[in-house]
């Protein structure tokens, strides 16, 4: 478990590291491939309108969400929880237990 005093600064330093930049790049590529697969399925099923935001919401196995986010156990300001890192938007949020 890591201890974080300032989540915003920690997020910036997290994405400054080359291995995390590479991880974010791969997450973007996988996310894009899954979106294309889902759009193809929708087109083959005869959908006339495709809303990109609805594709992520209707993802049956939450595959898009698993590709997009990484969770790390952390302690922020004395509270235990999880830091949820959005690899695509390069943001993070703290979720308490």
**What are the helix (H) ranges across the chain?**
7-16, 18-44, 52-57, 63-68
Cβ count near 72 (within 10 Å): 13
Tens-digit pLDDT profile for residues 56-83? 777 777 888 899 999 999 999 889 999 9
pTM, full prediction: 0.84
Q: CA dist 88 to 28, 66, 68, 74, 83, Å?
A: 6, 12, 6, 21, 15
Are residues 93 and 82 in contact, defined by beta-carbon separation less than 8 angstroms? no
Share of the chain above pLDDT 90, in %: 63
């Amino acid at each position: 478990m890591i201890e974080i005093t300032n989540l915003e600064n920690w997020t910036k330093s997290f994405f400054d590291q080359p291995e995390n930049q590479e991880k974010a790049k791969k997450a973007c590529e996988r996310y894009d491939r899954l979106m294309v697969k889902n759009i193809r399925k929708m087109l083959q099923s005869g959908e006339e309108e495709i809303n990109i935001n609805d594709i992520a919401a209707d993802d049956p196995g939450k595959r898009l969400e698993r590709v997009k986010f990484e969770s790390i156990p952390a302690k922020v300001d004395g509270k235990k929880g999880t830091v949820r890192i959005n690899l695509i938007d390069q943001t993070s949020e703290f979720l308490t237990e």
